[in-house]
Amino acid sequence: MVLDDQNPTTDEKSILTDFTSNMTYSEYLQLDTILSAQNRLSGHHDEMLFIIIHQVSELWMKLILHELNAAIAAIKANQLAVAQKCLARVTKTQTQIIQSWDVLSTLTPSEYMEFRGSLGQASGFQSFQNRMIEFALGYKNGHILKIYQKDPTLLSELKKAYEAPSLYDAAIHALHRAGYPIDEEILSRDVTKSYKENDSVRSAWMRVYKNTKQHWELYELAEKLVDIEDSLQQWRFRHMKTVERIIGFKTGTGGSSGVAYLKKVLDQRFFPELWEIRTTL
């Protein structure tokens, strides 16, 4: 028999049990809303896994955007240490999303085919937060905005992100403020276009990496950027392999080429000079 005084909670006399006039944990987190949002359209057992993985990933993406936007603002304000803290959190968050593919990989092709038809044309390709992350990192594709015309409010938010300077734009301007000569065409470039590598930027980063003690904050910032791109590519690779494992080379529900498209985006570079100088340093 287990005696009451052996229960670790019985000694906690101050634990609150009356929440008549107090906010509860569930209320604070709005768990009634979150936990009632897993509506299986097929009724199939494994659709629950599919929904939860994607919902959790979107929550992590929300945090990533929160930290990326804070980092960009901090860099613009020349608060590089603050930016580094935000970017370190981004990388840790990316680790959580990468690991989520291991859970989704427990879904077999036979199981997925049982409810895939219920998705209609809905696809992860349409994730607006994923697009906003790409915009924040400097990959801009105006054509993709057409997907979101159904929701004018969302489209407006996406356009704002699309037209905003990226994290790398902010970092390059930080280099310029530190006294490194950056070509004017880069400083005043059209930020709705994807960034293309530039000799003056490459030269500036090379000087930072050759004098790390003198330019420690810029050096640390650069390494945080590399961490983020590295993690993003790991996420993309795991995404591609998970899709291949579950549906092979079928066309995606949203009309994309599926695995072929996912393989292609692995070649995208966000911070090209930071990777190039590793060869020439």
Provide the domain count of the chain. Answer: 1
pLDDT at 15: 85
Q: Is residue 155 part of a domain?
A: yes
Consult the annotation and say whether 189 binds a ligand.
no
Residue 96 placed within a domain: yes
Asked if residue 153 belongs to a domain, the reply is: yes
Instruction: Determine, yes or no, domain membership for 270.
Output: yes
Contact 74, 83 (CB under 8 A): yes
In a domain, 27, yes or no: no
Q: Give residue 217's pLDDT.
A: 97
Q: Which pLDDT does position 8 carry in this prediction?
A: 55
CA-based nearest residue to 105, from 233, 235, 241: 241
Residue 15 marked in a binding site:
no
272 domain-assigned: yes
The series of mean pLDDT values per 10 residues for the chain, 281 residues long, is 52 82 93 97 96 97 98 98 98 97 96 93 90 96 93 96 98 97 98 96 98 95 98 95 91 83 90 96 89
Tell which residue, 106, 97, 25, has the closest CA to residue 55: 97
Q: Tell me, what's the pLDDT at 225?
A: 98
147 annotated among ligand-binding-site residues: no
C-alpha 235: how far from chain center: 9
- 53 labeled binding residue: yes
Is 253 annotated as a binding-site member?
yes
Sequence-distant (6+) residues with CB within 8 A of 164 are: 135, 136, 191
Q: Considering the entire predicted model, what is its pTM?
A: 0.91
Known binder of ligand: residue 25?
no
> What's 182's domain CATH number?
1.20.58.480
Q: Whole domain around residue 228: which residue ranges?
A: 45-108+140-278
> Is 91 a domain residue?
yes
pLDDT at 9 (0 to 100): 55
Positive/negative CA dihedral, 242, 243, 246, 249 = negative
The reply to whether 112 sits in an annotated binding site is yes
In a domain, 103, yes or no: yes
